[in-house]
Structure 1
Amino acid sequence: MDVDLELGMNISCKELRVLLLQEFRLGHKTTEATSNICSTMSKDALFIRTAQDWFNWFKNDNFELDDLPRAGRPLEVDMDVLKQLAEEDPRLTTRCLAERLGCSHATVETHLRELGKMWKCGVWIPHELSPLQLQHRVDACMKLLTSHRNYQWLRNHITGDEKWVLHVNHTRKRQ
């Protein structure tokens, strides 16, 4: 993560930590180090609490400047396994998929959207239709329009997102 500076320069967290380590080795106090870095870079380049945390690490002889791996659920999932699970049973919820993959449901939802899947009527479906599917829909619509041009049934229907639904159907529920 980079810290944006007022001077138009970018400084990485690691570079900021190197500056903090230099201030620590010079024997400066945390507030003095923060003031020195902020006066050189920008007033929001570093917070005093962040400097205090790093000075505590340095005092405990921990001079590792890179971010260490953290515990918790992984943010990455095996996309092939996720795709296979979603296609085998498209009615699985994100929480169920997350339980099987060992990650959070938000992560699963994000990756399903990356795969082009959308949640519709209780099923994960491909968001985009293939050219063949689109052509089948156009053919079906043209057939309906030409064969029933004079018949009044079409006035009783409305079209929606990828479905034909009777307008007077009050009992239809979402799954």
Structure 2
Amino acid sequence: MSIFVPNKVYLRGILLHYFIQKKSAAEAHRILVQTYGDNALSDTTCRDWFRRFKNNDFELEDKERSGAPKKFQDKELEQLLDEDPSQTLSELGKILQVDESTVSKRLKGLGMIQKQGHWVPYELKPRDVERRFGTCELLLQRQKRKGFLITGDRYRLQLMCLSRTLKEKRPLYAQRHDKVISLHDNARPHVAKPVKTYLETLKWEVLLHPLYSPDIAPSDFHLFRSMAHGLADRRFHSYEEAQKWIDSWIALKDMSFFRRGIHVLPERWEKVVSSDGQYFK
């Protein structure tokens, strides 16, 4: 019995279908992996094609390439970083169809550096410095006034599922006036209107978080940084395999690990304030 092996154009057609269905590139990639396994397109390739579709480029066949090196505009690179500032040089190079050194030089020219795995401006604009300083100052005042209790940073869990679980496992949850204090960054899914509206219905408090500040996000400076060590040289062959490893890794961490990442926040806020909003070492 022959086994169907999809070609690139066939898979791109499926991506276009999911794009029209208003699914995200990540959702489309996950479905492809579940269906076609090792024959699926990579996550980076899926995001690249979704970006083309958003620019009204629906041609699924490979375009003829000339012998001249591929060129791209700064705004293309800036758009990719705006969509996901955690992309690696390799991922950016594949999307833009250039080598890593070309991307690295262009990033340097744009004044971008990596902090906690995120591309951020080497020199913050005055308004960004002021925002970091003001936000951390307000957070420190809040911490002194109300004490320190932040639940979360595992934002990957769906909010509805988290709320339901809290109601099931903590009978007094609905009676507590402070309920949940959420801290997440400014990634588009986190600040989307449906998410904000749902958080308002839950009456959860969302802490302020300034732009270009992975150094004061526990998920970046603590959780993902630690996870990266465990992921070194590890390869996964399916979405389920990766999910199983992550679930196991989190389950093996005791509560003190997560508390450390949260309880060090006031110290980091103070460093931002003492640095007048600039990045600290």
Q: TM-score, normalised by structure 1?
A: 0.39
Query: Which structure has the larger Rg over C-alpha atoms?
Result: 1
Q: TM-score, normalised by structure 2?
A: 0.26
User: Which structure features the higher share of helix residues?
Assistant: 2
User: Which structure features the higher share of strand residues?
Assistant: 1
